[in-house]
A and B are shown apart, each in its own frame.
Chain A
Amino acid sequence: MKKRFIGALGAAAISLTALMAPAMAAGTLRVAIPSNLNTLDAAKTKLGEEYIMNFLIFSGLTEVDGKGGVKPDLAESWSKSDDQKTWTFKLRPGVKFHDGRELEAADVKASIERIKDKATGSPARVNFDIVDSIETPDKETVVFKLKIPYSGFAELFGDRQVRILPRDKFDTIATHPIGTGPFMFKSFTPGDRVELVKNPDYYVKGEPKLDAVTFRIMPESAAEIAALETGDVDLVWSLPLESIDQMKDNPDIVVDSTPTSTWDGLIMNSAKKPFDDARVRKAVLMALDKKALVEVALYGQGTPTHTMIPPSHPYYNSDIPIGAPDVEGAKKLLAEAGYPDGFEATLYVPVGRPTRERLGIAAKEMLAPVGIKVDIQRVPWDKFVKEIEGKAAFYADGFFSRPTIDTSIYPFYHSTGSWNTQLWNYKNPEIDKVLDDARAAKTEDERAALYKKFQALAEDNPAGAIPYVLNHVNAYRKNVKGFHSSPMMWLDLRETTVE
């Protein structure tokens, strides 16, 4: 009897520790990120490091998977009118902000109206220009009235800046963010670290599994790598591509690489000579060896492509070949355009964006045989933004993955697109029509066909040369479990544990 009692006690103890063990072991994840954060206010974020915080601290109405799909997040369900101009979202009941207040439809309305306000300066603002009005018939329903039919509206709410913030805390959101996400903000020491702790009231029961996450800001890659190898940090976010090889042989470390739709490109300004001639732009494109550029600029961590639609995307047009460079063809086109002996051009590259610097330097070599003599100018980033983009004739630029196909392409390629006139001043009526039709497309097949047509049109009459999309690479120690790199380059740590 006595023995049995002790046995039962022991069993209880064992089951108790078994119950507690995962929670204990989940522990704290230490992550290295390279840059300091400008702001914690989701609506104003512009950096990859800031986007990480957006998805850990806040939630959106919907969630995108980076492969073209969209899932519910704060919105449990949604519906659209037949003309695709009225969208109704039903909120998940009982979701609480980190300060304990319950989420209401009015928070959604206020958050989106704040993004629409020009003085907020949110990069997501232009996407919501199509919103005419927002109504909140009850606490759990939000109705958006659009100016135009727009099939991809639900996906917009999975975007990085489009987080739902508490409407009574806008003033302090930049320093003490409060959201509905899996982790709660604890502290931010600029230049040093960001500390987050588990949100015990997260609406998905049992998540997150970690107790806390600490982000260390480490600008020098040698320091990040040393910290990972010696166990000072558990995970390095967005490993510099040139450092990957030296980690591959380390048995304690997993290198996790995933394709994204982040792209670099040689921008050729259609408003400037000689790039006002489509034949010149095509000749530049023909002279480039895209596969070699992936090797040189990305150390192989990327994929050749036609436009920003990555080969991993269902809308990618695989009928167009990624050809070898055609020097003779390019020379012929240049001669037709009136440049039989080629021309001289200054190519501007931004300092501190190593893939674009390498792209520029490699392009200089590849363009020489066709007679294009390139002079490379390195420009500091702020000057690049103010004086080069949209103004210079020829420069290397690049853009982060965007969650929806329309916001990835329309702003750049449509002649009225918000970024077009500030990038390459590209005008092609055929592409305008295809992109407008795709917005109103009713079925997935119709949409896919239109985007494939867009890629064929862009290949014939290029706006610039987009040689590749980049991989996003994280490295972590073997004791980190349940982690997968996201194609959107943020960190999803809801399922992650540390042993």
Chain B
Amino acid sequence: MVLYVIKRLVGIVAILVVMSVLVFAITQVMPGNVAHILAGQFADDATIKAIEHKLGLDAPAYVQYWRWASGVLSGNLGNSLIMERPVGPLIWDAFMSSALLAAIAFVMVAVFGIVLGVLAAVRQNRFTDHAVSVFSYIGVSVPEFFWAIVAIIVFARYLDWLPSGGAGNLSHGVWSWASHLILPSLTLTFTLIAHVSRLTRSSMIETLRSNYVRNARAKGLPEGVIIRRHALRNALLPTITVLAIDVGWLLGNIVVVEAVFSYPGIGRLLLFAIERHDLPLIQAGILLIAAVYCFANLIADLLYAYFNPKIRYGHAES
């Protein structure tokens, strides 16, 4: 087990290195480098050359990559080429804001998604099942920016219950801080919950139909005990994988919700960086998100192994 975790951690580092090369390569073939953006519309070639020289963009690609990589190894993520400020604090602040939002949404998606999925499975083809289906369908059937705008118009503009956007500040009180998180996290939950609830439902139905549950029933165990003790454990296996995928989804698609709710998160910062070809910022942002996601996957795999006695990591080839 320990060996397995160490192996995976080494793997994660390898993934991050491969990604950094990949991202660097993509930015190299992207049309228009940061010097064009800095020089602005209609700059002459001499100006672009001068800026490229100042930023060291005229060096060969491998030199540029090494310059960046050696900086990272010595703990320096570099400066944003556009904003001319250190990337580290910039990315970290944005990431913490997004992480808070994503964590709230993730917990809500996991809890409500699983509860709704199990309810629907147990009451298959009855009213609860259909109600859950309709609710999930409505959430997933239109893009998140549509719900986000509807939420702003209804809850911020007409009802005036919640702020229409921005990040709260704890110094203005707990409610002011929390109120800014409600609409964005609800929007994220609403558009993501179908993913989890439907998968939980279908794998729960599978499990309830398995010999193993039938045997338990034959033994005369009460239905509630069967579901909690026996079925849930197996039914949640695919859900765990999907929840790990949702972490990646949340950290990416959060950009749309952040944009609509003026929330200063990492998605918007990354989009800002990609649009401007600001390489140090793109690298740091993508690698940080990737690292978080890799850890989410590692945890999912460990949980998977824990819940599924058929798999024992460390000696996978049995």
Contact = CB atoms under 8 A, between A and B. Distances in A.
Chain B facing A: main interface SS: helix
A218 B165 contact: yes
Residue from B47, B50, B275 having most chain A Cβ neighbours under 10 A: B47
Contacts of B156: 223, 226-227, 230
A416 B131 CA distance: 70
B85 A175 contact: yes
B32 interface: yes
Contact of B94 (A41, A175, A190, A422): A190
Contact of B32 (A191, A222, A385): A385
A390 interface: yes
A367 B43 CA distance: 32
Interface string B16-42: 000000000000000110011111111
Contacts of A223: 152, 156, 164-165, 260-262
B276 A38 contact: yes
A44 interface: yes
Q: Which of A117, A382, A383, A389 has the most CB of B within 10 A?
A: A382
Contacts of A385: 32, 36-37, 41
B165 A220 contact: yes
Contacts of A192: 166-167, 262, 264
A44 B152 contact: no
A192 B259 CA distance: 11
Interface stretch (B205-213, B239-247, B265-273): B265-273
B82 interface: yes
Contacts of A390: 42
Interface string A187-205: 0011111000000000000
B214 interface: no
B82 A216 contact: no
B259 A219 contact: yes
Contact of A382 (B152, B262, B277): B277
Q: Of residues B40, B51, B94, B160, which shows the largest number of chain A Cβ atoms within 10 Å of its Cβ?
A: B40
A36 B164 contact: no
B50 A218 contact: no
B165 A227 contact: yes
Nearest to B268: A191
Nearest to B39: A121
Interface in B159-186: 160, 163-167
B303 interface: no
Contacts, number: 145
A119 B54 contact: yes
A217 interface: yes
A121 B46 CA distance: 10
Contact of B82 (A38, A229, A232): A38
Contact of A191 (B94, B152, B276): B94
Contacts of A39: 82-84
Contacts of B32: 382-383, 385-387
Given A39-B84, A121-B51, A44 B38 contact: yes
Contact of A220 (B42, B259, B264): B259
Contacts of B265: 191
Contacts of B164: 218, 222-224, 226-227, 230, 232
A205 B85 CA distance: 35
Interface string A135-149: 000000000000000
A41 B38 CA distance: 12
Given A382-B277, A383-B31, A41 B84 contact: yes
Contacts of B31: 382-383, 386-387
A189 B90 CA distance: 9
A190 B83 contact: yes
Contacts of B152: 220, 222-223, 226
A418 interface: yes
A232 B168 CA distance: 12
B140 to A, nearest CB: 22
A423 interface: yes
B166 A382 contact: no
Interface in B114-165: 148-149, 152-153, 156-157, 160, 163-165
Nearest to B37: A382
B27 to A, nearest CB: 12
B93 interface: yes
B44 interface: yes
A343 interface: no
Interface in A201-239: 216-220, 222-227, 229-230, 232
B53 interface: yes
Contacts of A226: 152-153, 156-157, 164-165
Nearest to B35: A121
A46 interface: yes
A389 B42 CA distance: 8
Nearest to A352: B275
Interface string A100-127: 0000000000000000011101010100
Contacts of B37: 382, 385
B81 to A, nearest CB: 10
Interface in B46-61: 46-47, 49-51, 53-54
Nearest to A221: B149
A418 B42 contact: yes
A356 to B, nearest CB: 13
Nearest to A174: B84
Contact of B157 (A175, A217, A220, A230): A230
17 contacts: A38-B83, A39-B83, A39-B84, A46-B41, A118-B46, A119-B50, A121-B47, A175-B84, A190-B272, A191-B265, A192-B166, A193-B166, A222-B153, A223-B261, A226-B156, A232-B164, A383-B31
- Going nearest first, the 9 A-B pairs with the smallest beta carbon separation are A192-B264, A226-B164, A191-B264, A118-B50, A386-B32, A226-B157, A174-B84, A422-B42, A223-B165
Interface of A: 36, 38-39, 41, 44, 46, 117-119, 121, 123, 125, 174-175, 189-193, 216-220, 222-227, 229-230, 232, 380-383, 385-387, 389-390, 418-419, 422-423
Given A226-B165, A230-B160, 13 more contacts: A38-B276, A44-B38, A46-B41, A118-B51, A175-B85, A190-B94, A216-B166, A218-B166, A223-B262, A226-B153, A227-B163, A382-B36, A385-B41
